[in-house]
Every structure is written in structure tokens, then in C-alpha cells.
Amino acid sequence: MKIGALSWNSNNIGDDIQSVAVMQHLPPVDVFLNRDHLNSYDGPETLLVTNGWFLAEIENWPPSPSIKPIFFGFHVQEHAKPTIARHAAYLKKHEPIGCRDQATVDFIRSLGVEAYLSLCNTLTFNAPADREPDSIYLVEADRHQLSRKLFKKGLLVKKVSHRIIDVSAETRLRYAKEIVETYGKKAALVVTMRIHCAMPCIAMGIPVIFVGPKTYRTQIVEEVGLRRHDAWHPLKHPFTRRIEAWPQPLDIAETKKRVSADIKSRIAAALAKG
């Protein structure tokens, strides 16, 4: 059986961070399969951890019979629900469905399919051994959301975007790996609206302030215990109080251990079954 991992057409490097996270637990990957075109794969039988946000191209569901999926960290977005529901038998064949968030668990269970809250592989990153934090990273966040007292002397302030131009899958994957390593080595604090920035940083013991929207898609941040802050905008919300407290790192050691053991066990069982 071949080993696969997901590739992406989106402009969000957070998708590729999810693939990097999965690949920590897989044997060497033989083939990358595009998330939005899994139905067209006609290669050899391939094991694929099917994780992340589904689905942009809803007419391309379900995946090819050549793909042997492990659903883990699976999230169904609202406009794909009718399509997913029409193909409940496909999910039933591959249950249990490990879901990224409780709302997806509830939806999958409503179809008569076994589901559970697996959370996300991005919670399994470990901090680099040579961690030397010296920077505050504003990842698609605005420094005006923070009180001046948070900008401590000696720390650099760096603005980062998780949006990416149209480059090769190899370049995307390399950049995703490097950006996680950079946060792990250099981030003293991360302020972000991106869940796949927040969760790897939480896993690596970095203090995180999450300023993203409260939506079905971002529900996972609260499920792992991260407080959500209202976004501050100098024109739209000029009287909103700025964030003043430097957060403590979340202790998710037990969650990380559980998620890691779960995905490793499911991969091993799938490979043994062949």
C-alpha cells in the first residue's frame, strides 16, 4: 500500500501545516493527493489521513475507491454538508470518523455514522531543542490590538501572513515546515487569527493570543482551552479595550499525548490490515 498526504490549492499555508503535522506520524510519503480532487485519483491503493477543511469542490466527493482514508481531524464546512450527507454510506464504511471539532462530530453522528472528537494533528508539534525566543509574532493581527505594556524591551515585533502565492506543492510544504520551526525557535508570544498558527504554537509551549472570529470553523481553539479575544480595530471598534495581559502557555501535554497516540494507532492498524 502506498502512503499519501494531502496537498492544497488554497492560499492558506495553514492547510500545508496540517500535512506537515500528519507526516510526523506517517512512513515516508509516496504521493501527494489534492484535497479538492480526491475523486479523480486512479493510482495504486493509497493510505491517506483525511484531515482538514472539506470541501471547496463539493461535486468531487466522495474520494476514489483507490484511497483508503483515515478520517482524523476532519472538518465539514456548512455548504458541503448536503453533499456529505448524501454520501453518508461512504463515511459509514470508514468509521469511526475522527473530527476536528464537536460541531462536526454532531453532524456526522446525525447521519448515523460513528464519530468522535479527535482534535487536530497540529496539536502534536514539539518545540525545537534550540528554542531561543526573541520575538513577538503578529500573524495576520494588528499591534493596535495590544496594550503598549505587552511590547517588552528586547523583543522584536514581526508581522507574518499565512497567505501564500501560487507556488509548487513542494515549496508550500517546505515553507509550512520552516514557519512552524521558526515559531518554535523564536516566538516569545504569538498573536493570531489563524487556528493553524495558534494550535502548533500552543503545542510547542508558546504563549498565544487568539483574535480570530468565533465561528464553527474555529471552534477547536476553545475546545483545547485557549481564550478567544475580540478583535480590535481602530476605526470599527475605537473604544474596545486593548489586550493587556501577557498570557501563560497552555499545558496541553495530556491532550498532545492522546492525539499522538490515537493517530499513530490508527495508522498502524490500517497498515496492518493492508
- Domain count for the chain: 2
Statement to judge: residues 107 and 144 lie in one domain:
no
Burial class (CB within 10 angstroms; exposed 0-12, middle 13-18, buried 19+) of 56: middle
The confidence score (pLDDT) of residue 243 equals 84
119: left (phi over 0), alpha (psi -120 to 50) or beta: left
Statement to judge: residues 11 and 130 lie in one domain:
no
Query: Letter for the amino acid at 157?
Result: V
Cα separation, 198 vs 261, in Å, equals 21
In the predicted model, residues of the chain with pLDDT beneath 70 are: 230-241
The confidence score (pLDDT) of residue 190 equals 97
The confidence score (pLDDT) of residue 154 equals 86
| Cβ atoms of residues 96 and 116 within 8 Å | yes
C-alpha radius of gyration, the chain, whole number: 19
Give the residue carrying C-alpha cell 490515537: 262
Cα separation, 247 vs 245, in Å, equals 6
pTM above 0.85, yes or no: yes
Statement to judge: residues 264 and 211 lie in one domain:
no
135 beta partners: 156, 187
Statement to judge: residues 246 and 128 lie in one domain:
yes
The confidence score (pLDDT) of residue 67 equals 98
| Cβ atoms of residues 15 and 196 within 8 Å | yes
Statement to judge: residues 115 and 218 lie in one domain:
no
The confidence score (pLDDT) of residue 166 equals 87
Tell whether omega for the bond before 238 is within 30 degrees of 0, i.e. cis.
no
The confidence score (pLDDT) of residue 234 equals 56
The confidence score (pLDDT) of residue 219 equals 87
The confidence score (pLDDT) of residue 165 equals 87
Largest Cα span, the chain: 59
The confidence score (pLDDT) of residue 88 equals 98
Cα separation, 242 vs 271, in Å, equals 50
Statement to judge: residues 66 and 152 lie in one domain:
no
Which strands form 97-99's sheet, in the order they lie side by side?
31-34, 2-7, 46-54, 67-76, 97-99, 115-117
Which residues span the domain enclosing 76?
2-122+256-273
The confidence score (pLDDT) of residue 39 equals 97
Distances (CA, A) of 81 to 61, 156, 191: 11, 44, 31
- 158: its cell numbers: 514581526
Statement to judge: residues 95 and 133 lie in one domain:
no
pLDDT digits (tens, 9 = 90+) for 178-203: 999 999 999 999 999 999 999 999 99
CATH number assigned to the domain comprising residue 15: 3.40.50
Statement to judge: residues 48 and 145 lie in one domain:
no
The confidence score (pLDDT) of residue 245 equals 84
Statement to judge: residues 118 and 158 lie in one domain:
no
Residues 6+ apart with CB under 8 A from 65: none
